[in-house]
């Protein structure tokens, strides 16, 4: 595997880094850069995986972004690992040892507890002796399918989004990973529309019969979004890094899986089959879109909340800080 620099950031000094992998994400990239710069990020390390929608040109025009390319694709296997994990490992080892870094995908927007800046969050983790923290991936959605029409203008965080509030995760020091209390809006929508895993065991069949289908796993809802990187740390996958966090605090990550760009992503995932387990989650998403359209197109449920500011997920119990 080879990683090459396509264009180098014009600003050389930095205090906080974002390390990301992108493929055809021009729809969200302007807001992505605006948001993370506002958080305090002043260096972006972005590997562009063969984008054709203008993402690469946009990235190269950002003065605080170094753009990388590779001779392999994200779905290739490199020394037993998926390429996107090998890429992130290489970039972090090469550029971020001894520094705090963020690892969002382009559709993930970390939001902080009310009244806290990123330096406050980092200082709290350092006082608690934790080099990292878990994050809840909170799926965002419009009220109806009409909010996913491609003529809705540029992507913005203040675009009238909704999410499922309430407690999702808990974590205690010594646990291998967070305990999931509620699986989130995607699991709820899948269950409401009869899209369930195959070969369900007795327990899951009983849960569905009792009306708890929304609590069954359809996607991973936690990941490590922020870490003080050290030599020997390991990217174990898209969601987990070793060593594990040791703080019980959980940051909220706004995850935009349901946007005007979703149909394009589904088409690409289904045509390549290159995502996890043959793009299994995108097959389910395609089915969900069809069934929502047949039922009137509403995403809303009893837990639905309207997003107004970055403190919302913490006030409603999704993010956990105090």
pLDDT reading at 286 higher than 80:
yes
Q: Which two tokens stand for residue 274?
A: 């290159």
- Structure confidence by residue, pLDDT tens digits, 28-37: 999 999 999 9
Residue 156 vs residue 277, higher pLDDT = 156
Using a 10 angstrom Cβ sphere, with 0-12 exposed, 13-18 middle and 19 or more buried, the burial of residue 198 is exposed
Mark whether 58 and 93 lie in a shared domain.
Answer: yes
The percent of residues above 70 in pLDDT, for the chain, comes to 92
Tokens read off for 136: 């809840």
Boundary-marking domain end, from 106, 133, 162: 106
What pLDDT, on the 0 to 100 scale, is given for residue 214?
60
Is the backbone peptide bond immediately before 243 cis, with ω within 30 degrees of 0?
A: yes
SS3 276: helix
Distances (CA, A) of 273 to 22, 40, 268, 316: 17, 36, 8, 37
Q: Find the DSSP H helices in 40-154.
A: 55-60, 83-95, 118-128
Q: What residue numbers bound the domain in which 32 lies?
A: 1-106
What's the token pair of residue 148? Answer: 């996913």
Task: Identify the CA nearest to 135 among candidates 223, 219, 217, 47.
Answer: 223
Both 72 and 170 in a single domain?
no
How many structural domains comprise the chain?
A: 2
Mean per-residue pLDDT of the chain: 92
Final residue of a structural domain among 84, 106, 128: 106
Please compute the mean of the pLDDT values over residues 216-245 and round it to a whole number: 91
How distant is the alpha carbon of residue 48 from its chain centre?
17
Q: Work out the average pLDDT over 244-270.
A: 94
Which tens digit of pLDDT belongs to each residue from 193-219? Answer: 888 665 556 666 666 666 666 666 667
Give, in order, the Cα–Cα distances in Å from 278 to each of 28, 51, 68, 265, 287: 25, 20, 26, 14, 15
pTM, two decimals, is 0.94
φ/ψ (deg, to 5) at 294? -70, -20
Shared domain for 10 and 55, answered yes or no, is yes
CA dihedral sign of residues 283, 288, 289, 293? positive
**Both 76 and 198 in a single domain?**
no
Whether residues 88 and 114 fall in one domain: no
Q: Domain with 2 in it: what CATH number?
A: 3.40.50
């Amino acid at each position: 595997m080879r990683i090459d620099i396509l264009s180098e950031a014009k600003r050389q000094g930095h205090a906080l880094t974002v390390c990301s992998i992108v493929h055809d994400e021009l729809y969200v990239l302007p807001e992505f850069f605006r948001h993370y710069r506002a958080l305090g990020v002043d260096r972006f390390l972005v590997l562009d995986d063969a984008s054709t929608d203008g993402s690469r040109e946009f990235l190269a025009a950002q003065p605080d972004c170094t753009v990388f390319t590779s001779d392999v694709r994200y779905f290739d296997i490199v020394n037993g690992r998926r390429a996107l994990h090998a890429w992130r490992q290489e970039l972090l080892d090469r550029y971020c040892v001894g520094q705090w870094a963020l690892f969002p995908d382009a559709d993930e927007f970390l939001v902080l507890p009310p009244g806290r800046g990123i330096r406050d969050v980092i200082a709290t983790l350092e006082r608690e002796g934790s080099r990292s923290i878990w994050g809840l991936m909170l799926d965002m959605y419009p009220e109806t399918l009409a909010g996913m029409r491609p003529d809705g203008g540029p992507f913005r965080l203040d675009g009238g989004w909704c999410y499922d509030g309430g407690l999702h995760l808990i974590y205690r020091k010594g646990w291998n990973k967070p305990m999931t209390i509620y699986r989130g809006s995607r699991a709820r929508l899948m269950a409401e529309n009869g899209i369930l895993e195959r070969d369900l065991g007795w327990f899951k069949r009983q849960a569905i019969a009792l009306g708890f289908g929304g609590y069954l796993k359809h996607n991973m809802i936690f990941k490590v979004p922020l870490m003080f990187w050290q030599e020997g740390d390991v990217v174990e996958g898209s969601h987990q890094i070793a060593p594990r966090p040791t703080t019980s605090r959980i940051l909220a990550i706004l995850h935009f899986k349901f946007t005007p760009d979703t149909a394009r992503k589904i088409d690409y995932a289904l045509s390549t089959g290159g995502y996890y387990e043959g793009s299994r989650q995108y097959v389910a998403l395609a089915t969900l879109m069809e069934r929502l359209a047949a039922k009137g197109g509403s995403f809303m449920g009893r837990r639905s909340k309207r997003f107004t500011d970055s403190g919302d997920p913490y006030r409603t119990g999704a993010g956990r800080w105090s």
